[in-house]
Amino acid sequence: MPRTLEGQITMEKTPSYFVTREAPARISAMSKDTKLLVVVRDPVTRAVSDYTQTLSKRPDIPSFESLAFRNRTAGLVDRAWSAIQIGLYAEHLERWLRHFPARQLLFVSGERLVRDPAGELGRVQDFLGLKRIISDKHFYFNQTKGFPCLKKAEGSGRPHCLGKTKGRPHPEIDGQVLRRLRDFYRPFNRKFYQMTGHDFGWDG
């Protein structure tokens, strides 16, 4: 990390930290005061999105259904598949709470970030002890992507949207498969809501 002056905040983004077993202890050893931001979304949608991303790079991979289940007939979900495993948020959070107090973690709702980016970023600014500068006027909704975009990126006169890997259409997945995955994740989601004190509304 670069040296940080008084009054400055250094930020770093690596999505895999949250699910990497060694990360909590290593980050705690580097700085016990680190504040951690984790963007989470419905684990079923997240798994399909993860698969879509892989499919775009390797079109020859097996179907989502065959990867998601160890035994499809018995409805046995393969929790060893990374696309499924990453969505077990309560299990990952347990490891982090061994090294950091809950007040140093903020879970940002991926769904709310799309619906109300300024509102969700307001929570982030408060958590980081920053003045609330970002508001609705900084965003516009891009119909093509289905995401909000920044009206003007820092140091540029042009709008900024998430890259082409974001907002890709998902493949059609059998409704029965999605229902089985919802049932599978439900207890993990409920535990996560309990641990964070926040109901993300993924079980509706």
Per the annotation, does 135 bind a ligand?
no
Q: Which residues contact 145 (CB under 8 A, 6 or more apart)?
A: 161, 162, 166, 167
CA distances from 193 to 3, 59, 87, 144, 163 (A): 36, 36, 13, 32, 30
Ligand-binding site membership of 170 (annotated): yes
CA 198 to chain centre: 15
Q: What's the rounded Cα separation, in Å, for the pair 126 and 204?
A: 29
- Find out whether 92 is annotated in a ligand binding site: no
Binding site annotation covers 190? no
Q: Is 186 annotated as a binding residue?
A: no
Distances (CA, A) of 66 to 47, 72, 73, 76, 85: 13, 7, 11, 11, 15
Residues in binding site: 41, 49, 166-170
Residues in binding site for 3'-phosphoadenylyl sulfate: 41, 49, 166-170
